[in-house]
Structure 1
Amino acid sequence: MTPAEVSERVACPIFTTGIRAGFPSPAADFEEGRLDLNDLIQHREATFFAWCEGDSMIGLGLRDGDLLVIDKAAMPEMGDIVVAEINAEFTVKRLGRIDGKPHLLPANPAYPPIPIPPDEGIQVWGVVIRVIHDPRPRAKRKKI
C-alpha cells in the first residue's frame, strides 16, 4: 500500500456539466472549470492507493489492475466496498449481511461470501472511496 502524498496541486480542466453516456446532448453551453484530484480525498493522511488484483469484484466494476483509493479514516457502513485483513492477508469486498450476520460479499458468483465472526481476526482496514481504471482493452497495470 502506498500513502497518498501531496507535493503540489495540479488542477486539470473539467467540464462543469456531465458527459452523457446515453444520447448526446448539446455541447454549446458547457463551461470549463478546474479540478485538483487531491480535492477528491477527504483524509489525506489516512488515504492509500492499492492495485486491485483478481476478478471477485468484477460485478461492481472493479477489475484486475484498477487503482483503488482507500480511506482508513472513513467509517465503514453496510454496502461499502472495503479492504479487510483476514489472517494477515488483504481482500477487497462489499460489507454486507446474510441472514442478519455480517459478511464480506464478492461481486462475482464464482466466489463465496466470507462470514465475519465477531471473535476472529477479520479487520476492516479501510473504505474504497474511488476506483481508477483504464477502459482500453489493451491496458495493463502500470508498475510504479
Structure 2
Amino acid sequence: MNSDGDFENGARVGRDNAGPTSPRRTSNAFGSPGTDSTVKRIDLNDALIKHPDATFVMRAAGEAMHGAGISDGDVLLVDRAITASHGAVVIAVVDGELLCRRLEVAGEKPGRGPGQVRLVATDDATSPVDIGPAAQLEVWGVVTTVIKSLSF
C-alpha cells in the first residue's frame, strides 16, 4: 500500500506497480506530434458537421436553455437539413425573433399532422410558447452541437 507521503503533491503519474506480477502504465502526456506518425489532426468540420451546406454557427444569448447545457455566449451549430422532432433543441422563428427552445409535440396524429406544439425553455423563469393550430411555426434548424469557452 502507498504511504501518505506518496500523494503530498498529487497522485503519481507514470509507471507504478499494480501488483507483484502486473506492472501498470499510466500515460502522462500526449506525445510529440512530430515524432509519432499515428497522430492525426482532427478536422472539426468532419467531426461535428454532417451537412456542411446546411449548417450554420450561431451564438446563444440568455440563460433560458441552461438546463439543456446551453449558456449565454455559447456557440451553437445549427443544422437546417435535419427534420425537427419532439424533444429536439431547435432554433425557431416566433414573431420575427429567433428563439432557441426545446420542441414539444403532443398528440401527433398520423396523416393529420401534429397536435399541440410548443417551444419550451429549460429554466423556470421563461414561459413556454404555445403554437396554436392556425399559427405558422417556422423551425429554422436543429441545434446539434454546443461549443463552450472555458474561463480561467
Identity of aligned residues (%): 37
Residue 90 (structure 1) aligned to one of 98, 123, 128: 98
- CA 1:63/1:27 → structure 2, altered by over 3 Å: closer, same or farther? farther
Separation of aligned partners in 2, 1:72 and 1:98: 22
- Assess if the C-alpha contact under 8 Å between 1:55 and 1:64 holds in 2: yes
Q: How does 1:1-144 map to 2 (within 5 A)?
A: 27-28=26-27, 32-39=39-46, 40-97=48-105, 101-136=116-151
Structure 1 counterpart of 2:7: none
Q: CA RMSD in A?
A: 2.3
Residue 105 of structure 1: how far off its partner (Å): 0.8
Letter of the 1:130 counterpart: T
SS at match of 1:62: coil
Q: Which runs of 5+ in 1 are unaligned?
A: 1-25, 138-144
- Cα deviation, 1:37-69, whole Å, max 9, x if unaligned, reads 111211111111111000100111100000011
Separation of aligned partners in 1, 2:104 and 2:26: 41
Q: Which runs of 5+ in 2 are unaligned?
A: 1-24, 31-37, 108-114
- CA 1:32/1:98 → structure 2, altered by over 3 Å: closer, same or farther? same
SS at match of 1:34: coil
- Cα deviation, 1:85-119, whole Å, max 9, x if unaligned, reads 01111000001146862211101010111112232
- CA 1:54/1:35 → structure 2, altered by over 3 Å: closer, same or farther? same
Letter of the 1:59 counterpart: G
What TM-score, normalized by structure 1, do the two folds share?
0.69
Higher strand fraction (1 or 2)? 1
